[in-house]
Structure 1
């Protein structure tokens, strides 16, 4: 399979039905480029600053200025942990040094996840067996929109082998959720706030560039002698992130079912049909029946009833 599902993610079966809602412009780009657009997570963070971030509780250690800021339970946890940054292979000499080493290690990891947003690109799908009015109105454009409907199995075959595309089911957490134990460096990219739970998102991911690198600056001469420690965590880049990348797909596997928005005028269905035929996609376009007229009662038989 071209798509790899992360072990830490909830299972995504091959029979899972997925929807991708879009406007006509995005559909035209898909056809002409024969590629799906993967947006940079850091670019998405401009509209949702919590994109690619862990819950607030994962940052709670930054309030520790001294041992007096820790609760009794946190002191015990600090005494027992071996999870701290130690590039010089010199163990902390006391609990105060250990506190600083633990804080730095946690911030090192958080900085790594944060920097990874720039080189992680995502393509988002709605997990639902049926279409939804809300998704049409938000993502499918209130007028000339459409959606691609397919199974997870079809999505697998839409990508060439060795595409290095990953999939995960997004987990929605309350802002007051307890700290998340990160089992995989991708994991923060699949966490969103509960306010977005209506999206029921399955997220495809692809990485490139300096993804996964350690953001620590180290004095290498001192490191060789195992004497000095870290210098600092690299600052966040100031230049604007790349908006996204195109990832090639097989249109015949991807466009199994193209559904026209129930709010779209009639010309949209004709236009999309013509576009699909020009690119060798035949008889895959249909109109949503969400706004079809319901059955009505007949007054014809009522005329025969004598009162």
Structure 2
């Protein structure tokens, strides 16, 4: 088997992210447990190949143990909304940076949670048994060393390390949250602005967000899953893709990035504002003067984007 060169480039990582679902030669769909071979063909064209086609690579950069993403993918054309105050809008278009707060800084204490405390014993018992089995079947272990005490102590240690890892993950995982809907949301207007009369929303698509972030291969974009924590747990890895059912109205899509030892409650990522913003919507509760201010701000920063007064401000007849 050809040795891996590990000569990663940003462009190659982007290529893998965009073509990771199937072999780029024969079209075979990858499944959990399969091997994906990333590298270059003889003409230096990048490729992601299955085992049957891997011999076509002239350079194998890396092999991945293929696994389905922990998140539900979003259609590229799906509409995304971000509701904000004018000050945050000015900061966004002025600095051209998108703010990612850490999970630990969110008001929802269940961000990154595996489950509820009253069910922790069930979680612990399952993974203690899992670790005990893994220790006993680990290759290279001397059966004489596998005493009951050795197995128990190491299983407890692994469980403790997993819990510590979960706490660190809350510190080192940073998230940008978006509302996914074909239409604007009255609830989002009121929830995500300190003064709904002085609020606006930017509308984009998943593809635009991805491209505006420079197709950064370190950032994952996916849907949040809403679960009943009284009946199930989230996940050992990727718990930040799960929230409680009571938040289901948010219809959240999030962009997620991990930064080890960030020691910060938030980070900023460069963003291409022109690519990001498809349209700007003014709060249905905004007075005329606020609309004028928004137009002036957009003009000052040279944004050539359509501005709409919220459709919710339309006048009915009876």
One of 245, 252, 268 as aligned partner of 1:194: 245
Structure with bigger RCO (C-alpha 8 Å, 6+ apart): 1
Contact 2:222 2:253 in 1 (8 A): yes
CA distance in 1, matches of 2:244, 2:104: 16
Residue aligning to 2:282: 260
Deviations 1:35-75 (A, max 9, x none): 1111011111xx222111111377325876xxxxxxxxx79
- Separation of aligned partners in 1, 2:192 and 2:137: 44
Tell me if the contact between 2:132 and 2:152 (Cα under 8 Å) persists in the aligned partners.
no
Using a 3 Å threshold, how does the CA distance of structure 1 residues 260 and 105 change in structure 2: closer, same or farther?
same
Residue 156 in structure 1 maps to residue 210 in structure 2: yes
1:49 is aligned to 2:102:
no
Answer with 143-152 or 107-116: which moved more: 107-116
The 5 Å alignment of 1:28-67 reads: 28-44=90-106, 47-56=107-116, 59-60=120-121
Asked if 2 retains the 8 angstrom alpha-carbon contact of 1:55 and 1:179, the reply is yes
Q: Which residue of 1 aligns with 2:147?
A: 93
Normalization by structure 1: what TM-score?
Answer: 0.72
How far has the Cα of 1:293 moved from its partner? Answer: 0.7
2:294 to 261, 269, 272: 272
Deviation at 1:133, TM superposition (A): 0.9
1:206 maps onto 2:257 in alignment: yes
Q: How far apart, CA to CA, are the structure 2 residues paired with 1:85 and 1:289?
A: 62
Match for residue 109 of structure 1?
162
Instruction: Note the 1:114-193 alignment, pairs <5 A.
Output: 114-140=167-193, 141-162=195-216, 164-182=218-236, 185=237, 187-193=238-244
Q: Deviation of residue 30 (structure 1)?
A: 0.4
Compared CA separation, residues 84 and 50, structure 1 to 2 (3 A): farther
**Do the aligned partners of 1:3 and 1:167 also contact (CA within 8 Å) in 2?**
no
Which of these residues, 11, 15, 18, is aligned with residue 80 of structure 2? 18
Using the size of structure 2 for normalisation, the TM-score is: 0.69
CA pair 288-104 structure 1, distance change in 2 beyond 3 A: same
C-alpha separation in 2, matches of 1:192 and 1:84: 35
Provide the alpha-carbon RMSD of the alignment.
3.2
> Structure 1 residues 113 and 79, CA, compared in 2 at 3 Å: closer, same or farther?
closer
Asked whether the 8 Å contact 2:132–2:155 carries over to 1, the reply is: no
For residues 179-219 of structure 1, what are the alpha-carbon distances to aligned partners after superposition, in whole Å with 9 as ceiling and x for unaligned? Answer: 4453xx3x1111111121111111111222338xxxxxxxx
Q: 5+ unaligned residues in a row in structure 2: which ranges?
A: 1-13, 19-67
Structure 2 equivalent of residue 81 of structure 1: 133
Larger radius of gyration between Structure 1 and Structure 2: 1
Is the contact made by 1:38 and 1:123 (CA closer than 8 Å) also made in structure 2?
yes
Matches of 1:42 and 1:190, distance apart in 2: 14
Conserved? CA contact 1:55–1:173, under 8 Å:
no
